[in-house]
Structure 1
Amino acid sequence: MAFLDQNPEIGYPLVAGLGLLVGSFLNVVILRLPKRMEWQWKRDSREMLGEPELYDPPPPGIVVERSHCPHCGHQLNWYENIPVFSWLALRGKCRSCRAPISVQYPAVELLTMLLVLASVWTFGFGWQGFGAALLSCYLVALAGIDLRTQLLPDSLTLPLLWLGLIAAVENLYHGPKAALLGAIAGYVSLWTVWWGYKQFTGKDGMGHGDFKLLAALGAWCGLAGVLPIILVSSLVGAVIGGAWLLFKGRERATPIPFGPFLAIAGWLVFMWGDPMISWYRNLAGF
Protein backbone atom coordinates (compact mmCIF):
# COMPACT_ATOMS: atom_id res chain seq x y z
CA MET A 1 0.00 0.00 0.00
CA ALA A 2 2.89 2.34 0.79
CA PHE A 3 4.37 1.50 -2.62
CA LEU A 4 1.13 2.49 -4.34
CA ASP A 5 0.96 5.74 -2.35
CA GLN A 6 4.49 6.56 -3.49
CA ASN A 7 3.81 5.50 -7.09
CA PRO A 8 0.32 6.77 -7.99
CA GLU A 9 1.09 6.40 -11.71
CA ILE A 10 0.95 2.65 -11.02
CA GLY A 11 -1.70 2.68 -8.29
CA TYR A 12 -4.47 4.54 -10.08
CA PRO A 13 -4.43 2.46 -13.30
CA LEU A 14 -4.33 -0.67 -11.16
CA VAL A 15 -7.32 0.50 -9.13
CA ALA A 16 -9.18 1.51 -12.30
CA GLY A 17 -8.72 -1.95 -13.80
CA LEU A 18 -9.79 -3.59 -10.56
CA GLY A 19 -12.85 -1.33 -10.44
CA LEU A 20 -13.90 -2.44 -13.91
CA LEU A 21 -13.53 -6.11 -12.96
CA VAL A 22 -15.50 -5.64 -9.75
CA GLY A 23 -18.16 -3.73 -11.70
CA SER A 24 -18.49 -6.72 -14.04
CA PHE A 25 -19.08 -8.94 -11.01
CA LEU A 26 -21.60 -6.47 -9.57
CA ASN A 27 -23.62 -6.81 -12.77
CA VAL A 28 -23.87 -10.52 -12.04
CA VAL A 29 -25.00 -9.79 -8.48
CA ILE A 30 -27.60 -7.25 -9.62
CA LEU A 31 -29.09 -9.61 -12.20
CA ARG A 32 -28.83 -12.98 -10.48
CA LEU A 33 -29.26 -12.39 -6.74
CA PRO A 34 -32.98 -11.38 -6.93
CA LYS A 35 -33.74 -14.46 -9.04
CA ARG A 36 -31.96 -16.69 -6.55
CA MET A 37 -33.91 -15.05 -3.72
CA GLU A 38 -37.25 -15.54 -5.48
CA TRP A 39 -36.42 -19.20 -6.17
CA GLN A 40 -35.55 -19.76 -2.51
CA TRP A 41 -38.72 -18.00 -1.34
CA LYS A 42 -40.88 -20.27 -3.50
CA ARG A 43 -39.05 -23.34 -2.27
CA ASP A 44 -39.43 -22.32 1.39
CA SER A 45 -43.12 -21.50 0.87
CA ARG A 46 -43.86 -24.92 -0.61
CA GLU A 47 -42.07 -26.56 2.29
CA MET A 48 -43.99 -24.54 4.91
CA LEU A 49 -47.34 -25.24 3.24
CA GLY A 50 -46.57 -28.94 2.88
CA GLU A 51 -46.94 -28.85 -0.89
CA PRO A 52 -45.25 -31.52 -3.02
CA GLU A 53 -41.84 -30.81 -4.47
CA LEU A 54 -41.80 -29.51 -8.03
CA TYR A 55 -39.07 -29.73 -10.61
CA ASP A 56 -37.73 -26.22 -10.29
CA PRO A 57 -34.01 -26.00 -11.07
CA PRO A 58 -32.26 -23.10 -9.40
CA PRO A 59 -31.29 -20.02 -11.42
CA PRO A 60 -27.61 -19.57 -12.28
CA GLY A 61 -25.37 -19.03 -9.28
CA ILE A 62 -23.51 -15.82 -8.67
CA VAL A 63 -19.95 -17.14 -8.59
CA VAL A 64 -19.68 -20.52 -10.32
CA GLU A 65 -21.76 -20.35 -13.51
CA ARG A 66 -20.22 -18.58 -16.50
CA SER A 67 -21.79 -15.49 -18.00
CA HIS A 68 -24.14 -16.09 -20.88
CA CYS A 69 -26.51 -14.27 -23.22
CA PRO A 70 -29.95 -14.00 -21.56
CA HIS A 71 -31.64 -14.36 -24.97
CA CYS A 72 -29.98 -17.39 -26.58
CA GLY A 73 -27.92 -18.84 -23.72
CA HIS A 74 -24.61 -18.44 -25.55
CA GLN A 75 -21.79 -18.77 -23.00
CA LEU A 76 -19.36 -15.90 -23.25
CA ASN A 77 -15.71 -16.51 -24.02
CA TRP A 78 -13.11 -14.57 -22.05
CA TYR A 79 -12.66 -12.04 -24.86
CA GLU A 80 -16.41 -11.37 -24.85
CA ASN A 81 -16.40 -10.64 -21.15
CA ILE A 82 -13.80 -7.88 -20.88
CA PRO A 83 -15.45 -4.98 -19.01
CA VAL A 84 -16.64 -2.11 -21.26
CA PHE A 85 -14.28 -3.02 -24.14
CA SER A 86 -16.13 -6.20 -25.12
CA TRP A 87 -19.46 -4.34 -25.15
CA LEU A 88 -17.97 -1.68 -27.40
CA ALA A 89 -16.29 -4.24 -29.68
CA LEU A 90 -19.54 -6.19 -30.03
CA ARG A 91 -21.42 -2.90 -30.59
CA GLY A 92 -23.82 -3.78 -27.79
CA LYS A 93 -25.04 -7.01 -29.41
CA CYS A 94 -24.63 -10.73 -28.70
CA ARG A 95 -22.07 -12.32 -31.04
CA SER A 96 -24.29 -15.40 -31.44
CA CYS A 97 -27.89 -14.17 -31.82
CA ARG A 98 -27.26 -10.40 -32.33
CA ALA A 99 -29.77 -9.54 -29.62
CA PRO A 100 -29.04 -6.20 -27.90
CA ILE A 101 -26.91 -6.26 -24.75
CA SER A 102 -28.21 -3.88 -22.10
CA VAL A 103 -26.22 -0.68 -21.58
CA GLN A 104 -26.44 -1.52 -17.87
CA TYR A 105 -23.32 -3.67 -18.22
CA PRO A 106 -20.81 -0.98 -19.23
CA ALA A 107 -22.63 1.65 -17.15
CA VAL A 108 -22.23 -0.33 -13.90
CA GLU A 109 -18.61 -1.17 -14.76
CA LEU A 110 -17.71 2.46 -15.45
CA LEU A 111 -19.60 3.73 -12.41
CA THR A 112 -17.85 1.25 -10.13
CA MET A 113 -14.46 2.22 -11.57
CA LEU A 114 -15.13 5.93 -10.99
CA LEU A 115 -16.37 5.43 -7.42
CA VAL A 116 -13.41 3.22 -6.51
CA LEU A 117 -10.99 5.75 -7.99
CA ALA A 118 -12.69 8.54 -6.04
CA SER A 119 -12.37 6.43 -2.88
CA VAL A 120 -8.60 5.99 -3.12
CA TRP A 121 -8.17 9.57 -4.36
CA THR A 122 -9.88 10.83 -1.20
CA PHE A 123 -8.61 8.33 1.39
CA GLY A 124 -5.42 6.94 -0.15
CA PHE A 125 -4.39 3.34 -0.87
CA GLY A 126 -4.55 2.21 2.77
CA TRP A 127 -7.36 0.65 4.79
CA GLN A 128 -9.47 3.79 4.65
CA GLY A 129 -9.38 3.78 0.86
CA PHE A 130 -10.14 0.06 0.78
CA GLY A 131 -13.12 0.51 3.11
CA ALA A 132 -14.46 3.42 1.06
CA ALA A 133 -14.14 1.36 -2.13
CA LEU A 134 -15.92 -1.57 -0.47
CA LEU A 135 -18.79 0.68 0.64
CA SER A 136 -19.03 2.09 -2.89
CA CYS A 137 -19.31 -1.39 -4.41
CA TYR A 138 -22.03 -2.43 -1.97
CA LEU A 139 -24.01 0.72 -2.76
CA VAL A 140 -23.76 0.15 -6.51
CA ALA A 141 -25.13 -3.39 -6.10
CA LEU A 142 -27.94 -2.31 -3.75
CA ALA A 143 -29.00 0.63 -5.91
CA GLY A 144 -28.99 -1.52 -9.03
CA ILE A 145 -31.10 -4.26 -7.44
CA ASP A 146 -33.57 -1.78 -5.97
CA LEU A 147 -33.97 -0.01 -9.32
CA ARG A 148 -34.76 -3.27 -11.08
CA THR A 149 -36.83 -5.10 -8.44
CA GLN A 150 -37.60 -2.69 -5.54
CA LEU A 151 -35.73 -5.06 -3.23
CA LEU A 152 -32.87 -4.37 -0.83
CA PRO A 153 -31.59 -7.84 0.13
CA ASP A 154 -30.67 -8.55 3.74
CA SER A 155 -27.72 -10.53 2.38
CA LEU A 156 -26.20 -7.18 1.35
CA THR A 157 -27.56 -4.59 3.80
CA LEU A 158 -26.77 -6.54 6.97
CA PRO A 159 -23.13 -7.35 6.09
CA LEU A 160 -22.70 -3.69 5.12
CA LEU A 161 -24.01 -2.69 8.56
CA TRP A 162 -21.62 -5.05 10.34
CA LEU A 163 -18.66 -3.93 8.22
CA GLY A 164 -19.38 -0.33 9.20
CA LEU A 165 -19.45 -1.25 12.88
CA ILE A 166 -16.25 -3.30 12.56
CA ALA A 167 -14.50 -0.38 10.84
CA ALA A 168 -15.56 1.84 13.74
CA VAL A 169 -13.94 -0.53 16.25
CA GLU A 170 -10.62 0.39 14.62
CA ASN A 171 -11.61 4.09 14.45
CA LEU A 172 -11.17 3.92 10.69
CA TYR A 173 -13.53 6.85 10.06
CA HIS A 174 -14.99 7.53 13.51
CA GLY A 175 -15.40 5.77 16.83
CA PRO A 176 -17.69 2.89 17.86
CA LYS A 177 -20.11 5.13 19.74
CA ALA A 178 -20.76 7.35 16.72
CA ALA A 179 -21.20 4.30 14.49
CA LEU A 180 -23.59 2.53 16.86
CA LEU A 181 -25.70 5.64 17.44
CA GLY A 182 -25.68 6.33 13.69
CA ALA A 183 -26.95 2.83 12.96
CA ILE A 184 -29.71 3.13 15.56
CA ALA A 185 -30.73 6.61 14.42
CA GLY A 186 -30.74 5.54 10.77
CA TYR A 187 -33.02 2.59 11.39
CA VAL A 188 -35.37 4.28 13.86
CA SER A 189 -35.81 7.47 11.80
CA LEU A 190 -37.15 5.72 8.70
CA TRP A 191 -39.03 3.12 10.74
CA THR A 192 -40.85 6.01 12.48
CA VAL A 193 -41.81 7.54 9.12
CA TRP A 194 -43.03 4.14 7.88
CA TRP A 195 -45.02 3.49 11.08
CA GLY A 196 -46.68 6.92 11.04
CA TYR A 197 -47.63 6.60 7.37
CA LYS A 198 -48.98 3.12 8.03
CA GLN A 199 -51.16 4.36 10.88
CA PHE A 200 -52.67 7.20 8.85
CA THR A 201 -53.14 5.46 5.50
CA GLY A 202 -53.07 1.74 6.23
CA LYS A 203 -50.42 1.34 3.53
CA ASP A 204 -46.69 0.75 3.50
CA GLY A 205 -44.90 3.92 2.49
CA MET A 206 -41.53 2.20 2.03
CA GLY A 207 -39.89 -1.19 2.33
CA HIS A 208 -38.09 -2.43 5.43
CA GLY A 209 -34.88 -2.68 3.43
CA ASP A 210 -34.69 1.12 3.42
CA PHE A 211 -34.46 1.11 7.25
CA LYS A 212 -31.59 -1.38 7.14
CA LEU A 213 -29.74 0.49 4.41
CA LEU A 214 -29.91 3.77 6.32
CA ALA A 215 -28.80 1.93 9.47
CA ALA A 216 -25.77 0.63 7.54
CA LEU A 217 -25.01 4.10 6.22
CA GLY A 218 -25.34 5.45 9.75
CA ALA A 219 -22.68 2.99 10.88
CA TRP A 220 -20.33 4.15 8.13
CA CYS A 221 -21.08 7.89 8.37
CA GLY A 222 -21.70 8.19 12.10
CA LEU A 223 -24.55 9.86 13.95
CA ALA A 224 -23.75 13.28 12.47
CA GLY A 225 -24.22 11.92 8.96
CA VAL A 226 -27.74 10.52 9.34
CA LEU A 227 -29.67 13.79 9.06
CA PRO A 228 -27.69 15.02 6.01
CA ILE A 229 -28.28 11.63 4.32
CA ILE A 230 -32.03 11.93 4.89
CA LEU A 231 -32.12 15.51 3.62
CA VAL A 232 -29.96 14.87 0.54
CA SER A 233 -31.77 11.64 -0.37
CA SER A 234 -35.14 13.37 -0.07
CA LEU A 235 -33.97 16.24 -2.26
CA VAL A 236 -32.44 13.93 -4.88
CA GLY A 237 -35.51 11.69 -4.77
CA ALA A 238 -37.88 14.62 -5.26
CA VAL A 239 -35.92 15.98 -8.24
CA ILE A 240 -35.05 12.72 -10.02
CA GLY A 241 -38.24 10.89 -9.03
CA GLY A 242 -40.44 13.80 -10.07
CA ALA A 243 -38.64 14.11 -13.40
CA TRP A 244 -38.98 10.36 -14.01
CA LEU A 245 -42.73 10.40 -13.29
CA LEU A 246 -43.17 13.37 -15.59
CA PHE A 247 -41.11 11.78 -18.36
CA LYS A 248 -42.96 8.46 -18.09
CA GLY A 249 -46.36 10.09 -17.67
CA ARG A 250 -46.99 8.17 -14.43
CA GLU A 251 -49.26 9.15 -11.54
CA ARG A 252 -47.79 10.62 -8.37
CA ALA A 253 -48.89 7.52 -6.45
CA THR A 254 -46.56 5.31 -8.53
CA PRO A 255 -44.07 3.62 -6.17
CA ILE A 256 -40.45 4.67 -6.69
CA PRO A 257 -37.53 2.80 -5.09
CA PHE A 258 -35.90 4.94 -2.41
CA GLY A 259 -32.77 2.82 -2.04
CA PRO A 260 -30.85 4.43 -4.95
CA PHE A 261 -31.43 7.90 -3.49
CA LEU A 262 -30.22 6.73 -0.08
CA ALA A 263 -27.18 5.19 -1.75
CA ILE A 264 -26.34 8.42 -3.61
CA ALA A 265 -26.81 10.56 -0.50
CA GLY A 266 -24.94 8.12 1.73
CA TRP A 267 -21.95 8.00 -0.60
CA LEU A 268 -21.80 11.80 -0.89
CA VAL A 269 -22.04 12.32 2.86
CA PHE A 270 -19.49 9.58 3.55
CA MET A 271 -16.99 11.08 1.10
CA TRP A 272 -17.52 14.79 1.73
CA GLY A 273 -19.87 15.07 4.70
CA ASP A 274 -17.77 17.51 6.75
CA PRO A 275 -17.27 20.03 3.91
CA MET A 276 -20.96 19.76 3.02
CA ILE A 277 -22.04 20.45 6.61
CA SER A 278 -19.55 23.35 6.93
CA TRP A 279 -20.78 24.85 3.66
CA TYR A 280 -24.39 24.64 4.81
CA ARG A 281 -23.58 26.22 8.17
CA ASN A 282 -21.80 29.11 6.48
CA LEU A 283 -24.69 29.53 4.07
CA ALA A 284 -27.22 29.53 6.90
CA GLY A 285 -25.10 31.87 8.99
CA PHE A 286 -24.44 29.65 12.01
Structure 2
Amino acid sequence: MAFLDQNPEIGYPLVAGLGLLVGSFLNVVILRLPRRMEWQWKRDSREMLGEPELYDPPPPGIVVERSHCPHCGHQLSWYENIPVLSWLALRGKCRSCKAPISIQYPAIELLTMLLVLACVWRFGFGWQGFGAGLLTCFLIALSGIDLRTQLLPDSLTLPLMWLGLIAAVENLYIGPKEALLGAIAGYVSLWSVWWLFKQITGKEGMGHGDFKLLAALGAWCGLAGILPIILVSSLVGALVGGAWLGIKGRDRATPIPFGPFLAAAGWIVFMWGEQMVGAYRAYAGF
Protein backbone atom coordinates (compact mmCIF):
# COMPACT_ATOMS: atom_id res chain seq x y z
CA MET A 1 0.00 0.00 0.00
CA ALA A 2 2.89 2.36 0.74
CA PHE A 3 4.29 1.51 -2.69
CA LEU A 4 1.01 2.52 -4.33
CA ASP A 5 0.90 5.76 -2.33
CA GLN A 6 4.38 6.56 -3.59
CA ASN A 7 3.56 5.50 -7.16
CA PRO A 8 0.03 6.75 -7.91
CA GLU A 9 0.63 6.36 -11.64
CA ILE A 10 0.49 2.61 -10.94
CA GLY A 11 -2.06 2.68 -8.13
CA TYR A 12 -4.83 4.59 -9.87
CA PRO A 13 -4.97 2.34 -12.98
CA LEU A 14 -4.98 -0.72 -10.71
CA VAL A 15 -7.83 0.68 -8.64
CA ALA A 16 -9.72 1.66 -11.80
CA GLY A 17 -9.48 -1.87 -13.16
CA LEU A 18 -10.49 -3.33 -9.82
CA GLY A 19 -13.43 -0.92 -9.66
CA LEU A 20 -14.70 -2.11 -13.04
CA LEU A 21 -14.45 -5.75 -11.96
CA VAL A 22 -16.20 -5.09 -8.66
CA GLY A 23 -18.87 -3.11 -10.50
CA SER A 24 -19.52 -6.16 -12.68
CA PHE A 25 -20.00 -8.22 -9.53
CA LEU A 26 -22.31 -5.58 -8.04
CA ASN A 27 -24.54 -5.95 -11.09
CA VAL A 28 -24.89 -9.63 -10.22
CA VAL A 29 -25.77 -8.76 -6.61
CA ILE A 30 -28.35 -6.16 -7.68
CA LEU A 31 -30.07 -8.54 -10.07
CA ARG A 32 -29.84 -11.86 -8.25
CA LEU A 33 -30.04 -11.10 -4.53
CA PRO A 34 -33.72 -9.97 -4.55
CA ARG A 35 -34.71 -13.09 -6.49
CA ARG A 36 -32.86 -15.29 -4.00
CA MET A 37 -34.58 -13.47 -1.13
CA GLU A 38 -38.03 -13.90 -2.65
CA TRP A 39 -37.39 -17.60 -3.26
CA GLN A 40 -36.29 -18.06 0.37
CA TRP A 41 -39.31 -16.13 1.68
CA LYS A 42 -41.71 -18.37 -0.24
CA ARG A 43 -39.91 -21.49 0.97
CA ASP A 44 -39.99 -20.31 4.61
CA SER A 45 -43.67 -19.37 4.31
CA ARG A 46 -44.64 -22.81 3.02
CA GLU A 47 -42.71 -24.42 5.86
CA MET A 48 -44.33 -22.22 8.53
CA LEU A 49 -47.84 -22.83 7.11
CA GLY A 50 -47.25 -26.55 6.84
CA GLU A 51 -47.89 -26.57 3.11
CA PRO A 52 -46.45 -29.36 0.95
CA GLU A 53 -43.12 -28.83 -0.73
CA LEU A 54 -43.28 -27.68 -4.34
CA TYR A 55 -40.76 -28.12 -7.09
CA ASP A 56 -39.24 -24.68 -7.01
CA PRO A 57 -35.56 -24.68 -8.02
CA PRO A 58 -33.55 -21.81 -6.57
CA PRO A 59 -32.63 -18.85 -8.76
CA PRO A 60 -28.99 -18.54 -9.87
CA GLY A 61 -26.54 -18.00 -7.04
CA ILE A 62 -24.55 -14.82 -6.66
CA VAL A 63 -21.06 -16.31 -6.80
CA VAL A 64 -21.08 -19.78 -8.37
CA GLU A 65 -23.32 -19.63 -11.44
CA ARG A 66 -21.90 -18.04 -14.59
CA SER A 67 -23.45 -14.93 -16.11
CA HIS A 68 -25.99 -15.55 -18.84
CA CYS A 69 -28.47 -13.72 -21.04
CA PRO A 70 -31.78 -13.30 -19.17
CA HIS A 71 -33.70 -13.67 -22.46
CA CYS A 72 -32.25 -16.79 -24.10
CA GLY A 73 -30.07 -18.24 -21.32
CA HIS A 74 -26.87 -17.99 -23.40
CA GLN A 75 -23.89 -18.36 -21.04
CA LEU A 76 -21.40 -15.57 -21.49
CA SER A 77 -17.85 -16.37 -22.51
CA TRP A 78 -15.01 -14.56 -20.77
CA TYR A 79 -14.63 -12.13 -23.66
CA GLU A 80 -18.34 -11.29 -23.43
CA ASN A 81 -18.00 -10.45 -19.75
CA ILE A 82 -15.28 -7.79 -19.82
CA PRO A 83 -16.63 -4.73 -17.98
CA VAL A 84 -17.84 -1.93 -20.29
CA LEU A 85 -15.74 -3.11 -23.26
CA SER A 86 -17.88 -6.19 -23.95
CA TRP A 87 -21.07 -4.12 -23.83
CA LEU A 88 -19.59 -1.66 -26.33
CA ALA A 89 -18.23 -4.41 -28.59
CA LEU A 90 -21.60 -6.17 -28.63
CA ARG A 91 -23.35 -2.82 -29.17
CA GLY A 92 -25.57 -3.46 -26.20
CA LYS A 93 -27.06 -6.69 -27.59
CA CYS A 94 -26.79 -10.39 -26.77
CA ARG A 95 -24.47 -12.18 -29.20
CA SER A 96 -26.86 -15.13 -29.37
CA CYS A 97 -30.41 -13.73 -29.52
CA LYS A 98 -29.68 -10.03 -30.21
CA ALA A 99 -31.90 -8.97 -27.30
CA PRO A 100 -30.89 -5.60 -25.83
CA ILE A 101 -28.54 -5.65 -22.83
CA SER A 102 -29.52 -3.11 -20.19
CA ILE A 103 -27.34 -0.03 -19.94
CA GLN A 104 -27.37 -0.69 -16.19
CA TYR A 105 -24.40 -3.02 -16.64
CA PRO A 106 -21.83 -0.53 -17.96
CA ALA A 107 -23.36 2.29 -15.89
CA ILE A 108 -22.82 0.44 -12.58
CA GLU A 109 -19.32 -0.62 -13.64
CA LEU A 110 -18.29 2.93 -14.54
CA LEU A 111 -19.94 4.41 -11.45
CA THR A 112 -18.13 1.95 -9.20
CA MET A 113 -14.81 2.71 -10.87
CA LEU A 114 -15.22 6.47 -10.53
CA LEU A 115 -16.39 6.41 -6.90
CA VAL A 116 -13.66 3.98 -5.82
CA LEU A 117 -11.08 6.20 -7.51
CA ALA A 118 -12.53 9.14 -5.56
CA CYS A 119 -12.11 7.14 -2.35
CA VAL A 120 -8.39 6.46 -2.86
CA TRP A 121 -7.88 10.04 -4.01
CA ARG A 122 -9.49 11.23 -0.78
CA PHE A 123 -8.05 8.70 1.68
CA GLY A 124 -5.07 7.11 -0.05
CA PHE A 125 -4.32 3.46 -0.83
CA GLY A 126 -4.22 2.30 2.81
CA TRP A 127 -6.90 0.93 5.10
CA GLN A 128 -8.87 4.18 5.03
CA GLY A 129 -9.10 4.06 1.25
CA PHE A 130 -10.03 0.36 1.35
CA GLY A 131 -12.77 0.97 3.93
CA ALA A 132 -14.17 3.89 1.96
CA GLY A 133 -14.24 1.74 -1.17
CA LEU A 134 -16.02 -1.02 0.73
CA LEU A 135 -18.66 1.41 1.99
CA THR A 136 -19.08 2.72 -1.56
CA CYS A 137 -19.68 -0.74 -3.01
CA PHE A 138 -22.31 -1.56 -0.39
CA LEU A 139 -24.11 1.72 -1.09
CA ILE A 140 -24.12 1.15 -4.84
CA ALA A 141 -25.56 -2.34 -4.42
CA LEU A 142 -28.22 -1.14 -1.97
CA SER A 143 -29.20 1.77 -4.21
CA GLY A 144 -29.51 -0.46 -7.26
CA ILE A 145 -31.66 -2.99 -5.43
CA ASP A 146 -33.90 -0.31 -3.91
CA LEU A 147 -34.42 1.36 -7.29
CA ARG A 148 -35.45 -1.94 -8.87
CA THR A 149 -37.44 -3.55 -6.05
CA GLN A 150 -37.94 -0.98 -3.23
CA LEU A 151 -36.06 -3.33 -0.91
CA LEU A 152 -33.03 -2.70 1.29
CA PRO A 153 -31.89 -6.19 2.31
CA ASP A 154 -30.81 -6.83 5.90
CA SER A 155 -28.06 -9.01 4.45
CA LEU A 156 -26.41 -5.79 3.23
CA THR A 157 -27.51 -3.04 5.64
CA LEU A 158 -26.65 -4.89 8.85
CA PRO A 159 -23.15 -6.03 7.80
CA LEU A 160 -22.50 -2.47 6.62
CA MET A 161 -23.40 -1.16 10.07
CA TRP A 162 -21.19 -3.70 11.82
CA LEU A 163 -18.29 -2.91 9.50
CA GLY A 164 -18.63 0.77 10.40
CA LEU A 165 -18.59 -0.06 14.11
CA ILE A 166 -15.56 -2.33 13.66
CA ALA A 167 -13.72 0.41 11.76
CA ALA A 168 -14.48 2.79 14.63
CA VAL A 169 -12.83 0.43 17.13
CA GLU A 170 -9.57 1.17 15.31
CA ASN A 171 -10.47 4.88 14.99
CA LEU A 172 -10.19 4.54 11.24
CA TYR A 173 -12.48 7.52 10.61
CA ILE A 174 -14.23 8.26 13.90
CA GLY A 175 -14.10 6.87 17.42
CA PRO A 176 -16.28 4.05 18.86
CA LYS A 177 -18.51 6.42 20.84
CA GLU A 178 -19.27 8.60 17.83
CA ALA A 179 -20.01 5.54 15.68
CA LEU A 180 -22.31 3.94 18.25
CA LEU A 181 -24.23 7.16 18.86
CA GLY A 182 -24.45 7.72 15.10
CA ALA A 183 -25.91 4.26 14.54
CA ILE A 184 -28.46 4.72 17.33
CA ALA A 185 -29.44 8.22 16.20
CA GLY A 186 -29.70 7.11 12.58
CA TYR A 187 -32.15 4.34 13.38
CA VAL A 188 -34.20 6.21 15.97
CA SER A 189 -34.56 9.39 13.91
CA LEU A 190 -36.19 7.75 10.90
CA TRP A 191 -38.11 5.29 13.05
CA SER A 192 -39.63 8.25 14.92
CA VAL A 193 -40.68 9.91 11.66
CA TRP A 194 -42.19 6.62 10.46
CA TRP A 195 -44.05 6.10 13.75
CA LEU A 196 -45.47 9.64 13.85
CA PHE A 197 -46.53 9.47 10.21
CA LYS A 198 -48.27 6.15 10.81
CA GLN A 199 -50.10 7.47 13.89
CA ILE A 200 -51.34 10.51 11.99
CA THR A 201 -52.22 8.96 8.63
CA GLY A 202 -52.54 5.26 9.36
CA LYS A 203 -50.04 4.57 6.56
CA GLU A 204 -46.38 3.64 6.50
CA GLY A 205 -44.38 6.43 4.90
CA MET A 206 -41.15 4.47 4.47
CA GLY A 207 -39.74 0.99 4.77
CA HIS A 208 -37.82 -0.36 7.75
CA GLY A 209 -34.76 -0.82 5.58
CA ASP A 210 -34.34 2.97 5.50
CA PHE A 211 -33.91 2.99 9.31
CA LYS A 212 -31.18 0.36 9.08
CA LEU A 213 -29.41 2.08 6.21
CA LEU A 214 -29.25 5.38 8.11
CA ALA A 215 -28.05 3.48 11.19
CA ALA A 216 -25.27 1.98 9.05
CA LEU A 217 -24.34 5.41 7.70
CA GLY A 218 -24.34 6.74 11.25
CA ALA A 219 -21.81 4.06 12.20
CA TRP A 220 -19.51 5.34 9.45
CA CYS A 221 -20.16 9.09 9.71
CA GLY A 222 -20.88 9.50 13.42
CA LEU A 223 -23.57 11.43 15.24
CA ALA A 224 -22.55 14.72 13.62
CA GLY A 225 -23.26 13.28 10.18
CA ILE A 226 -26.89 12.27 10.77
CA LEU A 227 -28.51 15.69 10.39
CA PRO A 228 -26.58 16.60 7.20
CA ILE A 229 -27.45 13.21 5.69
CA ILE A 230 -31.14 13.66 6.45
CA LEU A 231 -31.19 17.23 5.12
CA VAL A 232 -29.28 16.48 1.91
CA SER A 233 -31.22 13.27 1.17
CA SER A 234 -34.58 14.95 1.83
CA LEU A 235 -33.74 17.94 -0.37
CA VAL A 236 -32.42 15.86 -3.25
CA GLY A 237 -35.23 13.34 -2.85
CA ALA A 238 -37.86 16.08 -3.01
CA LEU A 239 -36.33 17.67 -6.12
CA VAL A 240 -35.51 14.49 -8.03
CA GLY A 241 -38.62 12.62 -6.87
CA GLY A 242 -40.89 15.53 -7.71
CA ALA A 243 -39.34 15.86 -11.16
CA TRP A 244 -39.69 12.11 -11.76
CA LEU A 245 -43.36 12.14 -10.76
CA GLY A 246 -43.97 15.08 -13.07
CA ILE A 247 -42.23 13.44 -16.03
CA LYS A 248 -44.05 10.14 -15.49
CA GLY A 249 -47.39 11.82 -14.82
CA ARG A 250 -47.77 10.10 -11.44
CA ASP A 251 -49.51 11.49 -8.35
CA ARG A 252 -47.83 12.13 -5.01
CA ALA A 253 -49.15 8.86 -3.58
CA THR A 254 -46.74 6.93 -5.83
CA PRO A 255 -44.04 5.32 -3.65
CA ILE A 256 -40.48 6.45 -4.38
CA PRO A 257 -37.48 4.54 -3.01
CA PHE A 258 -35.65 6.72 -0.47
CA GLY A 259 -32.61 4.47 -0.11
CA PRO A 260 -30.65 5.83 -3.10
CA PHE A 261 -31.01 9.39 -1.77
CA LEU A 262 -29.86 8.31 1.69
CA ALA A 263 -26.94 6.43 0.15
CA ALA A 264 -25.86 9.38 -2.01
CA ALA A 265 -26.14 11.85 0.86
CA GLY A 266 -24.33 9.48 3.22
CA TRP A 267 -21.48 9.00 0.76
CA ILE A 268 -21.07 12.76 0.28
CA VAL A 269 -21.13 13.44 4.03
CA PHE A 270 -18.70 10.58 4.67
CA MET A 271 -16.28 11.95 2.07
CA TRP A 272 -16.56 15.68 2.74
CA GLY A 273 -18.76 16.14 5.81
CA GLU A 274 -16.24 18.17 7.80
CA GLN A 275 -15.59 20.50 4.86
CA MET A 276 -19.34 20.96 4.35
CA VAL A 277 -19.93 21.86 8.01
CA GLY A 278 -16.90 24.15 8.01
CA ALA A 279 -18.09 25.97 4.90
CA TYR A 280 -21.56 26.39 6.38
CA ARG A 281 -20.18 27.78 9.63
CA ALA A 282 -17.98 30.21 7.74
CA TYR A 283 -20.92 31.30 5.61
CA ALA A 284 -23.22 31.68 8.65
CA GLY A 285 -20.52 33.49 10.64
CA PHE A 286 -20.29 30.90 13.45
Count of aligned residue pairs for this structure pair: 286
Match of 2:238 in 1: 238
Q: Distance in 1 between matches of 2:70 and 2:268?
A: 34
> Shift of residue 279 of structure 1?
1.2
Match of 2:153 in 1: 153
Q: Distance in 2 between matches of 1:119 and 1:33?
A: 26
Match of 1:106 in 2: 106
Query: When the two structures are superposed, what TM-score results if normalisation uses the length of structure 1?
Result: 1.00
Match of 1:25 in 2: 25
1:189-228 aligned within 5 A: 189-228=189-228
Match of 1:247 in 2: 247
Residue by residue over 1:9-66, the C-alpha shift from the partner in whole angstroms, topping out at 9 and shown as x without a partner, is 0000000000000000000000000000000000000000000000000000000000
Match of 1:57 in 2: 57
Match of 2:164 in 1: 164
Residue by residue over 1:162-212, the C-alpha shift from the partner in whole angstroms, topping out at 9 and shown as x without a partner, is 000000000000100000000000000000000000101111100000000
Consecutive unaligned residues in structure 2, runs of 5 or more:
none
Task: Give the fraction of aligned pairs with identical amino acids, expressed as a percent.
Answer: 87
> Does structure 1 residue 143 correspond to structure 2 residue 133?
no
Moved over 6 A (4+): none
Q: Which amino acid aligns with 1:96?
A: S
Match of 1:281 in 2: 281
Q: Distance in 2 between matches of 1:281 and 1:52?
A: 63
Q: Distance in 2 between matches of 1:84 and 1:239?
A: 30
CA RMSD in angstroms, aligned pairs only: 0.4
Q: 3-state SS of the aligned residue for 1:83?
A: coil
Q: 3-state SS of the aligned residue for 1:58?
A: coil
Q: Which amino acid aligns with 1:247?
A: I
Q: Distance in 2 between matches of 1:282 and 1:171?
A: 27
Q: Distance in 2 between matches of 1:202 and 1:108?
A: 37
Q: Which amino acid aligns with 1:231?
A: L
> Shift of residue 283 of structure 1?
2.1
Q: Distance in 1 between matches of 2:125 and 2:239?
A: 35
Q: Which amino acid aligns with 1:14?
A: L
Query: When the two structures are superposed, what TM-score results if normalisation uses the length of structure 2?
Result: 1.00
Match of 2:264 in 1: 264
Q: Distance in 2 between matches of 1:282 and 1:209?
A: 35
Q: 3-state SS of the aligned residue for 2:73?
A: coil
Q: 3-state SS of the aligned residue for 2:26?
A: helix
Match of 1:185 in 2: 185
Consecutive unaligned residues in structure 1, runs of 5 or more:
none
Match of 2:122 in 1: 122
Q: Which amino acid aligns with 1:220?
A: W
Residue by residue over 1:87-124, the C-alpha shift from the partner in whole angstroms, topping out at 9 and shown as x without a partner, is 00000000000000000000000000001000000000
Q: Distance in 2 between matches of 1:117 and 1:164?
A: 20
